[in-house]
Amino acid sequence: MKRIIKAFGIVALAAMVLQGCYPKEDLYYADLDVSLTHYDMDYDFSAISGKVCCVLDSVAHLVDEDVTPDDTYNRTIIEQVLENLKASNFDTVYLIKDTTDFITGREPHCVVTLTAWETDYYNYYYYPWGGWGWGWGWYYKSGTLKSNDQADYYYYPYYPWGGSWYYSYSKGTVLVDIVSAEDIEKPGSIDDQIKLPIIWTGALNGLSSSSTSDQTKRIKTQIDQCFTQSPYLFE
């Protein structure tokens, strides 16, 4: 009996000690923010020097069914991306309503799309940007992607270096994609898919806080960080 009591005491003590072994820390929302960038290593970023870049003046929200998108931070995202791009090597940067809305004579070399993920249902990927107008407008077909191999649309993002990372994006992520408009592959037939070559992606991820001012500040900081860690856009 004495031995059993001792053994019980040891187990109880061990349980208490082990419980205390795991690190715990008080964290602010900003402590868990992440900025991620990836780029096409085969793309010559010096080619953007002096060129035109258009930013689509809206943020596409990927949401679960029957969920209303939260547009609170759309302007913050658009304006902060615009500000950073204006400081980059692009000569001219302006907003467009859609991909046919460019100024004649100032056709874009690159187009920037903005996407906010408000769902974790990322295996069903819907690329919201259609109607790429310059030269291939008649191929436009709306619809959503049912699964990875059941495409019901002709426009989808194409990461020339492999797209495994976009499957990792989850709820609370904002994507800034720079598409090389000049490298869009014209399909051989109407049944072929158009590839939209994304040469750079900035992704920001974090937990949603209840303070709008705090969230705005964090979004701005993270967008700035994406550009800061991409010096090739400025060299």
Partner 1 sequence: MKKYIIIALVLVASTTINAQSLWNLTYDMSVPLGATKDFADKASFRGFGIDGRQFIDKNITIGGAWNWNVFYERREQQYYDVAENVTMHGDQFRTGNYMPFMFNSHYYFGEDGGFRPYIGTGVGTIWKEEIMQVGSVTIQNDNAWQFGLSPEIGLYLPIGNSGFMFWNVKYTYGIATGQLDATSYLNFGVGFGWENF
Q: Note the residues at the interface with partner 1 (CB under 8 A).
A: 3, 6, 10, 13-14, 17-18, 20-23, 25, 31-41, 161, 165, 168, 172, 205-207, 225, 229
In the complex, the smallest distance separating the C-beta of residue 141 from partner 1, rounded to whole angstroms, is: 32
**What distance in Å separates the CA atoms of residue 228 and residue 204, rounded to the nearest whole number?**
13
In the complex, the smallest distance separating the C-beta of residue 163 from partner 1, rounded to whole angstroms, is: 12
Helix (H) or strand (E) holding 7: helix 2-21
In the complex, the smallest distance separating the C-beta of residue 216 from partner 1, rounded to whole angstroms, is: 18
In the complex, the smallest distance separating the C-beta of residue 177 from partner 1, rounded to whole angstroms, is: 15
> Count of CB atoms within 10 A of residue 9's CB?
10
State the residue for tokens 């467009």: 96
In the complex, the smallest distance separating the C-beta of residue 31 from partner 1, rounded to whole angstroms, is: 5
User: Apex CA 128: angle with CA 209 and CA 151, to 5°?
Assistant: 125
93 or 226: CB nearest partner 1 = 226
The alpha-carbon radius of gyration of the chain (Å, integer) is 23
Q: In 3D, which of 109, 111, 112 has the Cα closest to residue 52? A: 109
45 or 129: CB nearest partner 1 = 45
**What distance in Å separates the CA atoms of residue 132 and residue 24, rounded to the nearest whole number?**
49
In the complex, the smallest distance separating the C-beta of residue 98 from partner 1, rounded to whole angstroms, is: 30
**What distance in Å separates the CA atoms of residue 151 and residue 192, rounded to the nearest whole number?**
11
172 or 187: CB nearest partner 1 = 172
| Most distant pair of Cα atoms in the chain: their distance | 93
23 or 135: CB nearest partner 1 = 23
128 or 163: CB nearest partner 1 = 163
Kindly state the DSSP code that residue 47 receives in the 8-state scheme.
G
20 or 188: CB nearest partner 1 = 20
User: Apex CA 210: angle with CA 209 and CA 215, to 5°?
Assistant: 50
